């Protein structure tokens, strides 16, 4: 059972992977969940028989959410939606992909936080979660823009905590390594992603991330878990590359 007074949560990217697991966990913990994604069918399936309101929208345009924040007191926002459309050298990346990553991984979470904070500060209650990535803390080849968006989220969280000092609003960044989801379905193809990333490895499961979020929420409101970096036991980040001069 939870020890906090939060009653409502908005979870983005709730139609699959980490977001769906988080939504399911928060429902189990008794919160009313507003579940956001583009895939209306997947959201409806999540909502069947549960305390869930599906919101089928594309986060490219966040304006429809103004109405939600005006109508409903949202206590918890989990900014989780994100994408990695291709694994490619920066110079060979599609410009539209670059823009989409900036829009969904960085701009949308900032906009949602802005919308949520007015009410949270007034009510002196609220918790903002941001799902970043180990890619925002360690360089990975061929994902420069993805890494930049996640690094942006990470520093935003640190700075936002400074701005929110004294408001009682909590901010938590979750920065995972490899989680077994469909994130790489576009970049690698679903089957190839399983083969390359998951079949021979032990990855974090989405439910593990949901457990971490539930734990951070359940701590006394005077305690803010500011960052949770989590890797599979079998994954390590770091190292360097060197090439010889021709």
Ligand X SMILES: NC(=O)c1ccc[n+]([C@@H]2O[C@H](COP(=O)([O-])OP(=O)(O)OC[C@H]3O[C@@H](n4cnc5c(N)ncnc54)[C@H](OP(=O)(O)O)[C@@H]3O)[C@@H](O)[C@H]2O)c1
Annotation marks residue 6 as catalytic: no
Among residues 145, 170, 2, which one has the least CA distance to residue 86?
145
CB of 114 to ligand X, least distance (A): 17
Among residues 171, 175, 173, 176, which one has the least CA distance to residue 223?
171
Nearer to ligand X, 83 or 120 (CB): 83
Site for ligand X in 176-215 (CB under 6 A): 176, 178-179, 181-183
Binding mask 154-183 for ligand X (x = CB under 6 A): ----------------------x-xx-xxx
- Determine how β-strand 52-56 pairs with β-strand 32-37: parallel
Helix H or strand E encompassing 197: none
Binding mask 50-79 for ligand X (x = CB under 6 A): --------xxx-------------------
Nearer to ligand X, 182 or 192 (CB): 182
Interatomic CA distance for residues 29 and 211, integer angstroms: 11
Which one of 12-20, 25-33, 69-77, 164-172 is the stretch in contact with ligand X (CB under 6 A)? 12-20
Q: 146, 184, 198, 201: which one is catalytic?
A: 146
**Total binding residues toward ligand X, as defined by CB under 6 A:** 25
Does 19 bind ligand X (CB under 6 A)? Our answer is yes
User: CA angle, corner 36, sides to 32 and 42, nearest 5?
Assistant: 100
Query: Which are the catalytic amino acids?
Result: 146
Binding interface with ligand X (CB under 6 A): 13, 15-19, 37-39, 58-60, 80-83, 104, 131, 133, 176, 178-179, 181-183
């Amino acid at each position: 059972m939870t020890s906090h007074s939060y009653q409502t949560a908005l979870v983005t990217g709730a139609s699959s992977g980490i977001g769906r697991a988080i939504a399911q966990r928060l429902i189990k913990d008794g919160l009313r969940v507003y579940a956001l994604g583009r895939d209306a069918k997947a959201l409806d399936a999540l909502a069947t028989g549960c305390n869930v309101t599906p919101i089928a929208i594309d986060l490219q345009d966040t304006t429809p959410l103004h109405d939600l924040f005006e109508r409903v007191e949202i206590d918890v926002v989990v900014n989780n939606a994100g994408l990695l459309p291709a694994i490619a050298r920066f110079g060979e990346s599609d410009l539209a992909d670059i823009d989409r990553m900036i829009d969904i991984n960085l701009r949308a979470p900032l906009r949602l936080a802005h919308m949520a904070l007015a009410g949270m500060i007034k009510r002196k209650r609220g918790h903002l979660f941001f799902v970043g990535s180990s890619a925002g803390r360690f360089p990975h080849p061929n994902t420069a823009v993805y890494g930049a968006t996640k690094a942006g989220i990470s520093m935003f969280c640190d700075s936002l905590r400074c701005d929110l000092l004294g408001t009682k609003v909590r901010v938590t960044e979750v920065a995972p390594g490899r989680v077994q989801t469909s994130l790489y379905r576009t970049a690698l193809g679903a089957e190839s992603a399983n083969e390359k990333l998951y079949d021979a490895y032990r990855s974090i499961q989405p439910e593990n991330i949901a457990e971490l979020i539930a734990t951070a929420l359940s701590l006394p409101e005077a305690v803010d878990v500011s960052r949770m970096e989590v890797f599979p036991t079998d994954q390590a980040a770091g190292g360097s590359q060197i090439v010889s001069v021709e």
